[in-house]
A and B are shown apart, each in its own frame.
Chain A
Amino acid sequence: MDAVFDALSHPTRRRVLEMLKSGGMTAGELADAFPVSKPTMSGHFAKLRNAGLIHAESCAGTIVYTLNLSVVEEVVMSFMGRLGLGGGTDETERMEERND
């Protein structure tokens, strides 16, 4: 459950989940919607995937992400979104800053 809270604590990852509510999207489509580098987005995808909140499937050479939220996880996500939790940078972005 810690992995779920950690994954939901960042606004970018919550936005990814919101976008996936309308259907499966490729990694590229999702990455294009955010003003961050591809490695940073990969870090966000990895956190969401490890927490079991998204499902990744390789299809015709591209990775398609789909939503994998239980009802309780979706309620927690809305709650954390309303509270505006995790507005700062997290480990994924700090790693990118260090690399720069």
Chain B
Amino acid sequence: MTNRVPYVLPIVTMVLLATLAILAGVHAPAGMRLAFHWNDNGLADGFAGAWAALLIPVGLCAALTLVFVTLSRLLGPMSELIHGMLVMMIVYEGMIAAPVFGIAVPPTISPILAVCGLFWILMGNRMPKSRPVLRKPQTIPDMNRAIATSRFSSRFWVVGGIIILAAALIPLEPAIRHIVTKTVLWVTLLVPLIYSVLWRQD
């Protein structure tokens, strides 16, 4: 049963995304260009023809599902990350399709960044459950280092995700949002790296 869930939900989501894409594509005026990429301030900086933009989340969802299913075979179940990714794709499709239906997302908030924050939290929560395979007794210290680092990193990722989520939903100046998200990204990536290098078994 648990093996079926990773495939069933992504397929249902992809059907939902494709339906929304077709609905929006049919309603889009000829020659309409839609945003498909936003910078870390939440401002659109990538545009494409309506059909191309609307179908990006469908393809991306299929590709990411394959990546997560492959990773879950190597690193163990990661259904919550797959669910997070699916929510992210639904919001992404909604963001792309919104202008076709005359829905304007307030420029003071960034739904895409909010979902990224949510995904960051899910990744952080799941992080301590990933570890290398123990092959020889001599590799126990390496495994302990990996586990200690992932436990330490996970807290940074969860707190970082909460900060990104807040920065996305609180009306902020784009420059401040940019500084907040960039700082969170660098801290959550660099601090665990330094911790891993300095870690010593007690």
Contact count band on A: 10 to 19
A36 to B49, CA, bound (A): 69
Count how many chain B residues have C-beta atoms less than 8 Å from C-beta atoms of the other chain: 24
A24 to B141, CA, bound (A): 8
Does B202 interact with chain A (Cβ within 8 Å)? Answer: yes
Known: A57-B133, A57-B134. A70 touches B140 (CB 8 A): no
Known: A23-B144, A68-B128, A71-B124. A59 touches B154 (CB 8 A): no
CB proximity of A35 to chain B, nearest CB, Å: 24
B143 and A24 contacting across the interface, CB-CB below 8 Å: yes
Q: Which chain A positions have C-beta within 8 A of B129?
A: 52, 68-70
Q: Which chain B positions have C-beta within 8 A of A57?
A: 133-134
A59 to B136, CA, bound (A): 6
CB proximity of B134 to chain A, nearest CB, Å: 4
B155 and A59 contacting across the interface, CB-CB below 8 Å: no
A31 to B135, CA, bound (A): 23
Does B164 interact with chain A (Cβ within 8 Å)? Answer: no
Does A33 interact with chain B (Cβ within 8 Å)? Answer: no
Residues of B within 8 A of A (CB): 124-129, 131, 133-137, 140-141, 143-144, 147-148, 151, 154-155, 158, 201-202
Top 4 A-B pairs ranked by shortest CB distance?
A: A23-B144, A57-B134, A71-B125, A70-B125
